[in-house]
A and B are shown apart, each in its own frame.
Chain A
Amino acid sequence: MNNTIVITPLDLITASILILSLAGITAPMSFGLSRSMLIAAARTTLQLLLIGLVLKALFAHADLWWVAGIALVMLLVAGGEIMARQTRWFTGLWGYGLGAISTFISSFTVTLLALTVVIGPQPWYAPRYAIPLLGMIMGNTMTGVAVGLDNLTNLAWRQRAVIEARLMLGHDWRAAIADIHRESVHRGLIPIINAMATAGIVSLPGMMTGQILAGNPPVEAVKYQILIMFLVASGTGFGILGALALGARRLFDERQRLRLDRLRPPAHG
């Protein structure tokens, strides 16, 4: 287990040269792109260092309240991130709440189930298991929910006339939005389905790679990866289904009118 090669700060600086040169090359094409890339790289460094310290402290004294606190912070950030990735988001509390609620219910349920029934660490909230597991499930759920919701609202906006044409012919709101709803679920779920389909052949999933790099036996790493894949896929799937069911309903009012005035237009016109 201790045959891992320790990475020095110098190694990281070497790797960062790659990112810096990539940003340098893209700058003439799009200054905004290379700027976002550098900011994201800096965020990765800072946030991961920070969570490393937090986890170190957390592992030292496993306390349920601390774990719950970290989970809450993760959820709040995920809710904000889902909102930030929308071209048009719902006005009022729904804008934040819709993504956050569905991510919360789905990823917390799946994580709790995995911790108590499947993995069974002692205590069940042992941070070494709970936090990375929740992080992986919630991170993927967040992305899926964001993609799905963005699709739903954008398609509804663009296909307003078609949705209304169906309402005018007496279709109920579910029928009028059904095609868009289905396509949005599809778009949200496709990345994780593809990841499962190509796992091991084209790509070695990150978690498994990490375990192998850390010196774990490959078959152990694989078993964990399969478990994680299933958890992530179901967490993402249930999250998307929940968010899109709520979102689609919210696009219509009690008289089944399409209410695009409940969406805020993109900030930059």
Chain B
Amino acid sequence: MQTNLPLLRVERLQGAHFGPVSLTLCAGECVAVQGPSGAGKTLLLRALADMDPARGGVWLAGMPRYEVPAPDWRRQVALLPAESHWWTDTVREHFTAAPREDLGALGFDNDVLNWPVSRLSSGERQRLAIVRLLAIKPRVLLLDEPTANLDADNARRAEVLIKTYVDRNQSAALWVTHDKRQSLRIARRVIGLANGCVIREFAA
């Protein structure tokens, strides 16, 4: 279900330690990002979510980033960091609505919302962070190794959930992964990053 409407356009984006990077993401598209550690993958995602100052242009569906208030931008171009963070005691307080369906897709029942965060394993935190991210309904997902802490089964479930979300909402995902087989499963296009720059781009 891929159309050629450019959803996210990035033009010579350059931060303190990476870039310039130019790329486009189409609606319905998942693009894998690969590269050795220190290649600037995380910095690129942070700059796209406007978490670090960067020069260059970013457009979401034709709308330049500087015209969008920062919190709105981050809800629409949402970043899932490699490690999730929680600021109050129970899981529920981190959600505005109970995403029953997504919780089920990752193997939770609704009761998990009443759990104290301290009881969660790192894998559970990671899966709940994915649900938490999808619950704010982003149009572009920036995923920093979203399945790194998960066992094979849960990683597959997370892949399916995210792919389904992207398809159904015609959103897009930029997906950092070290796992070449995962890139093949989730993406049709792979971007290779080294020293903060795109060094190759190929079909998966």
Give A residues with C-beta under 8 Å from B: 161-162, 164-172, 179, 253, 255-258
With A167-B51, A168-B51, A169-B75 as known contacts, state yes or no: A256 contacts B136, CB within 8 Å: no
* CB interface residues, B 49-81, toward A, < 8 Å: 49-53, 70-72, 74-75, 78-81
For B49, list chain A residues within 8 Å (CB). Answer: 168
How far apart sit A167 and B70, CA to CA, in the bound complex (Å)? 9
| Contact between chains at A169 and B74 (CB < 8 Å) | yes
How far apart sit A162 and B88, CA to CA, in the bound complex (Å)? 10
How far apart sit A20 and B2, CA to CA, in the bound complex (Å)? 81
| Contact between chains at A256 and B87 (CB < 8 Å) | no
For B132, list chain A residues within 8 Å (CB). Answer: 169
Q: Closest residue of chain B to A160, judged by CB?
A: B85
For residue B150, CB closer than 8 A to chain A, the reply is no
Partner of A168, one of B53, B72, B79, B87: B79
How far apart sit A166 and B96, CA to CA, in the bound complex (Å)? 13
Q: How far is the CB of A168 from chain B (nearest CB, A)?
A: 5
How far apart sit A161 and B82, CA to CA, in the bound complex (Å)? 11
Q: Closest residue of chain B to A258, judged by CB?
A: B51
Q: Closest residue of chain A to B75, judged by CB?
A: A170
| Contact between chains at A253 and B79 (CB < 8 Å) | no
| Contact between chains at A167 and B85 (CB < 8 Å) | no
Chosen A-B contacts, 5 in total, with CB atoms closer than 8 Å, are: A161-B81, A165-B87, A166-B87, A170-B136, A172-B71
For B74, list chain A residues within 8 Å (CB). Answer: 167-170
| Contact between chains at A257 and B53 (CB < 8 Å) | yes
How far apart sit A167 and B136, CA to CA, in the bound complex (Å)? 12
Q: How far is the CB of B130 from chain A (nearest CB, A)?
A: 12
Interface bits B22-66 vs A (CB < 8 Å: 1, else 0) = 000000000000000000000000000111110000000000000
Q: How far is the CB of B198 from chain A (nearest CB, A)?
A: 23
For residue B160, CB closer than 8 A to chain A, the reply is no
Known A-B contacts: A169-B74, A255-B50. Give 18 more (CB < 8 A): A161-B81, A162-B87, A164-B85, A165-B87, A166-B87, A168-B49, A168-B80, A169-B78, A169-B132, A169-B133, A170-B74, A170-B136, A172-B71, A255-B70, A256-B70, A256-B71, A257-B50, A258-B51
Q: How far is the CB of B115 from chain A (nearest CB, A)?
A: 18
Q: How far is the CB of B90 from chain A (nearest CB, A)?
A: 15
For residue B83, CB closer than 8 A to chain A, the reply is yes
How far apart sit A164 and B78, CA to CA, in the bound complex (Å)? 12
For A166, list chain B residues within 8 Å (CB). Answer: 87
- Which 10 residue pairs of A and B lie closest in terms of their CB atoms, listed nearest first? A170-B75, A165-B85, A256-B70, A255-B70, A172-B71, A168-B79, A162-B85, A170-B71, A170-B74, A161-B85
Max chain B C-beta neighbours (<10 A), residue from A161, A162, A253, A255: A255
For A255, list chain B residues within 8 Å (CB). Answer: 50, 53, 70
For B164, list chain A residues within 8 Å (CB). Answer: none
With A169-B75, A169-B136, A170-B71 as known contacts, state yes or no: A253 contacts B87, CB within 8 Å: no
Max chain A C-beta neighbours (<10 A), residue from B51, B71, B78: B71
For residue B84, CB closer than 8 A to chain A, the reply is yes
For B52, list chain A residues within 8 Å (CB). Answer: 257
| Contact between chains at A257 and B136 (CB < 8 Å) | no
| Contact between chains at A170 and B51 (CB < 8 Å) | no
* CB interface residues, B 79-122, toward A, < 8 Å: 79-81, 83-87
How far apart sit A253 and B50, CA to CA, in the bound complex (Å)? 11
| Contact between chains at A161 and B83 (CB < 8 Å) | yes
Max chain B C-beta neighbours (<10 A), residue from A168, A179, A257, A258: A168
How far apart sit A40 and B122, CA to CA, in the bound complex (Å)? 49
Max chain A C-beta neighbours (<10 A), residue from B49, B50, B85: B85
Partner of B53, one of A161, A164, A253: A253
How far apart sit A166 and B51, CA to CA, in the bound complex (Å)? 11
Q: How far is the CB of A171 from chain B (nearest CB, A)?
A: 7
For B51, list chain A residues within 8 Å (CB). Answer: 164, 167-168, 257-258
Partner of B72, one of A162, A165, A170: A170
With A170-B136, A257-B53 as known contacts, state yes or no: A165 contacts B71, CB within 8 Å: no
How far apart sit A168 and B143, CA to CA, in the bound complex (Å)? 12
How far apart sit A170 and B70, CA to CA, in the bound complex (Å)? 8
